[in-house]
Copies of this chain bind each other. A is one copy, B any other.
Amino acid sequence: MKFEIVHTSKKSRARVGKIHTPHGIIHTPSFVAVGTNAAIKALDSVAVNSLELDLLFCNTYHLLIQPGPKVIKEAGGLHKFMKRSRPIITDSGGFQVFSLAYGSVASELKSQGMKKSSGTVLKITEEGVTFRSYRDGKKILLTPENSVETQKDLGADIIIPLDELPPYHISKTALKESLDRTHRWEIRSLETHLANPKEQAMYAVVHGGIDPAMREESLSFLRKHPFDGFSIGGSLGKTRDEMAIMLDRLTPLLPPDKPNHLLGIADLPSLNRLIPFGIDTFDSSYPTKAARHGVLLTKSGPLKIVKETNASNYEAPDPTCSCTTCQNYSLAYLNHLFRANELVGLQLATVHNLAFMVNFMQEMREDILNDKV
């Protein structure tokens, strides 16, 4: 992997870059779509390949359980298995193990109370985390070593070390304990990776919760190790403001010559707020999830497909958009498909929202190149 900075804005720390990977270039800042089970929900890979979606996020936790790394390895790796031609990033599996245990991450990270553990995390030890498969109840021990081995079998362009996702509500002592263990896990992950790099790049995960000192400690520790990039994980605060304050403080400490990634956040207000800090890639299932809930992203705000007045709107859903949905179908037809519970409505809305994100990021890169952001 090679990272090239094309331009840094004169107006902010925002930067335009190119991450060169074995499966092509990721133009940054870039939106990263989520394809948990080696598929973007409701969209086939051939259709996805025709969007200029540079990077796709697949979840090791899900793929470990179904179909299992052996199948994907035998198929020739994730790209071949799912017929994706462009770059892929996988996580360690840790995020899902912990977030499924602590309940909805979004609600928990935003401190709307910690849900009772669903009992899927059975034990956290120095060795790793033991959890129960949601599929067949089988006990699985996820360690830094086997997480990375699994990610080797999957063969994504970018992989992530095993980390612990501490809940938002945690004492300082417990947070420090978790952070130190996460660091030890990340180093073991890195060692496993470096023993057999396989043209993959590994991004560290910066932790430390909402404690600025621990965040800085985490970053300064991880910087000392030969990670190819740096991702930022865990809770960053209750509100977008708290998150922005934390990231404004943290991002200048990132190694400027290495790509960085913000895990799990890519809503439009956050992107507008955070891109000026020089964050390169952002993943989120928000655009695809919104599509399945009948919400189209547009420049004039979210558009609710089933709204009564849309039933007789024969214009394109977003007349400014050049995606295949907006080029071929009317809002009235989409309204009808959603009201009639036709599956294809989910597909058409997903195409639009992903095209919207790709376009949003293209314009953002233009604006950075012109020092407008």
Residues of A at the B interface (CB closer than 8 Å) are 37-46, 62, 66-67, 70-71, 74-76, 81-83, 311-312, 314, 324, 328-330, 332-333, 335-337, 339-340, 342-344, 346-348
Contacts and interface: CB of A to CB of B under 8 A. Distances in A.
B332 A71 contact: yes
Given A324-B46, A333-B82, A342-B41, A71 B348 contact: no
Given A67-B336, A311-B71, A37 B83 contact: no
Nearest to A67: B336
Contact of A329 (B66, B83, B312, B348): B83
A170 to B, nearest CB: 32
B75 A344 contact: no
A314 B74 CA distance: 8
Query: How many copies of this chain sit in the oligomeric assembly?
Result: 2
A340 B71 contact: no
B330 A75 contact: yes
Contact of A39 (B74, B76, B337): B337
A317 to B, nearest CB: 13
Nearest to A41: B343
A44 B75 contact: no
25 contacts: A37-B342, A38-B333, A39-B337, A39-B342, A40-B344, A42-B343, A42-B344, A42-B347, A44-B329, A46-B324, A62-B340, A66-B336, A66-B339, A66-B340, A67-B311, A67-B336, A71-B312, A74-B312, A74-B314, A75-B330, A76-B314, A81-B332, A81-B333, A83-B329, A343-B347
